[in-house]
Amino acid sequence: NLINIVDDIEVVKGVFGFIRDRLPDKVKTKSVIPVEINIYNDTDRSSFETLFNCNSKEDVNNIFGIKIKSDLLDEIDVLHSVQNNITYYGAVH
């Protein structure tokens, strides 16, 4: 749950890294754990919405400063895998 966090970009970075680190790689075999985020604040837009509007590794790097790399997966597959394992809900007050 995110309560009254107006600038949630660091939360997005942390969740992105958490999921990315569990994607299949040559060394890693952890299972991906889907993340559910509930947002409670007075703003009408979240950085999670911005993440879901990203369509390329360049978008993610330019907006969030996240570099997407994988030995086994294409960068766009990494992005889509992360996006597919995040569910977020916004409750604007």
Domain chopping of the chain, boundaries: 2-92
pTM of the model: 0.86
Say what the pLDDT of residue 9 is. Answer: 94
Say what the pLDDT of residue 26 is. Answer: 60
Q: In the beta sheet, which residues pair with residue 88? A: 37
Query: Which is more confidently placed, 26 or 14?
Result: 14
Contact 8, 16 (CB under 8 A): no
Contact 35, 15 (CB under 8 A): yes
What pLDDT digit, counting tens, does each position of 29-64 carry?
Answer: 568 889 999 988 887 788 999 999 999 999 999 999
